[in-house]
Amino acid sequence: MCFIFSESFGQSYPEDFDGTLDCVSIAVTCAFNKRGSLLAVGCNDGRIVIWDFLTRGIAKWITAHVHPVCSLSWSRNGHKLLSASTDNSVSIWDVLSGECDRTFRFPSPVLKIQFHPRNSKNFLVCPMKHRAVLMDIDSTHTLVPLDEESDLNIVAAFDRRGKYIFTGNAKGKVLVFKTDDMTLQASFRLKVASGTSSTTAIKSLEFARRGNCFLVNSADRIIRVYEGGEVLACGKDGEPEPIQKLQDLVNKSLWKKCCFSGDGEYIVAGSARQHSLHIWEKSNGSLVKILHGTKGEMLLDVVWHPVRPIISSISSGVVSIWSQNQVENWSAFAPDFKELDENVEYEERESEFDIEDEDKEIEESKGGEDEDVDVDVTKVDAIQAFVSSDEDEEDADSLIFLPVSPEVDEGEEAVVPVDGQSPEDPSLDRKRNNSGRDGSSPKKRKVKLFDVDLPDAPNDEIHPLLNVKKPQDKNQKSKGSGRPRSSSNKMHKSDSSRSRKEKTPPNKERL
């Protein structure tokens, strides 16, 4: 596996465009599994495309929903995939079989979903204009408490290990609850610069895969990076200071999506106005790179590879890949290797082709004797990039790659003729047709459907991905009011044509 070289040499952030992934359908959202070997892409037609990221090929198609897929989340071992659609439904899928385990229907649109980092039986749901919901696969749910009952614009996320749930509201306040009993552990409010509004809405919360840092994306166009341990130490109504404050000083861009790198040392943010990615170094807050996509495209989603310096972004329905420039370094394989710009006349050393190298014997006599070291060739050390800080070994049950099965046409089932029967007997054709009708389509198991009862949830809300009809109606009205003469002329022409048709007698119609 190529993941053995998990620590890249040199820079640890992407620098150039590295192609696109064509999902045939319009891509909306995407998510990597824990190892980064599989990339799930949710499409506008409700399908989920799972890519083998090493070969850049499609490993599986899942016909998941009827409406667009708006959010995706992988389980810890990669066997389950959680998807949310704009039709207010959330489904759990078996990745190997492609079948749906169960579906949950919510009364209001679902903005975000997230599997519990350690327990695949629990997941977090953020409905629109409603408090966050901690769901169990047995359809039981727990509501995450609010700071104020009137404030319902809530974003929520698990911490790195799932011990706490962090929530943010429209008034710039972050609350930390314990996952087990929903008790409030800490809270703080974002400090806004003087001269602006006293509060700023929190748009998203993202946690790093390594370390205890998390970032807060707010409506004042500033990304704040906090240390989780310091927030918990400050307690309720604390005043923790952010480690870094990141923003676009030139264009003052709003941020559509932000996330950490796999090692937590870099932060990438995608602009809400155009397809551009800003990359900062977390330690000093310096802007190290700006990746520009095609002009005029709107960014939808951004994710960083869990292990490698690769970023996947979605704009205009296309998945773009950003990675490093691969430069061949032959000296890494042979330390004595030198790259030459021009031909150089080789000078032979005096003892180079001697049977016994006298110089080598002198060097060996200078150095001390090497001590015998026992090398264990049977034990395989765990790759640190795949193991958490509180674990010693990798999860042996994790799903890394999807097996590929050959495609067999249903109409080419073999029907063996009986002794004395010719292969061209018409009875064999009947058997082939009957077998294709009866046994070609296997019976699908019934999907468990659960209706989640949220009494205070609004029923008339439209998902933000679907709420795009209002500006089109305005344009149509303006177009109609701007050219009244042409429309009246068309009406007169249509009326005159109708009158001509009415005047023509039926006897003269062409047969």
Q: Average pLDDT of 386-394?
A: 66
CB 234 within 8 A of CB 188: yes
- Angstrom distance (rounded) from CA 222 to CA 209: 22
Residue pLDDT, tens place only, 252-302: 899 999 999 999 999 999 999 899 999 999 999 999 999 999 888 899 999
pLDDT of 101 higher than 80: yes
Q: How far is CA 137 from the centre of its chain?
A: 22
Q: Average pLDDT of 111-132?
A: 95
Q: Which CATH number fits domain 27-251: 3.40.50.300, 2.130.10.10, 1.10.150.570, 3.20.20.220?
A: 2.130.10.10
Q: Average pLDDT of 202-230?
A: 94
Name 35's Cβ contacts closer than 8 Å, sequence gap at least 6.
3, 78, 306, 307, 386, 398, 400
pLDDT exceeding 90 applies to what percent of the chain?
55
Burial class (CB in 10 A: 0-12, 13-18, 19+), 488: exposed
pLDDT of 66 higher than 60: yes
Provide the token pair at 2: 């190529």
CA nearest neighbour of 44 among 59, 58, 64: 64
pLDDT of 199 higher than 70: yes
Handedness of CA 7, 9, 13, 14 (dihedral sign): negative
| Residues forming a β-bridge with 31 | 40
**Mean pLDDT lowest for which of 9-13, 42-46, 216-220, 254-258?**
9-13
Burial class (CB in 10 A: 0-12, 13-18, 19+), 150: exposed
pLDDT of 70 higher than 70: yes
pLDDT of 46 higher than 90: yes
Regarding beta strands 287-292 and 276-281, do their DSSP bridges make them parallel or antiparallel, or are they unpaired? antiparallel
Residue pLDDT, tens place only, 448-497: 899 999 988 888 889 988 875 443 443 444 444 443 444 334 434 444 44
- Angstrom distance (rounded) from CA 391 to CA 401: 22
- Angstrom distance (rounded) from CA 124 to CA 66: 22
Q: How many CB atoms lie within 10 A of CB 21?
A: 20
* pLDDT score at 11: 64
* pLDDT score at 395: 74
* pLDDT score at 146: 92
**Mean pLDDT lowest for which of 9-18, 49-58, 190-199?**
190-199
Average pLDDT in the chain? 81
* HSE, side-chain direction, 13 A CA sphere, residue 119: 14
Q: What is the CA radius of gyration of the chain?
A: 31
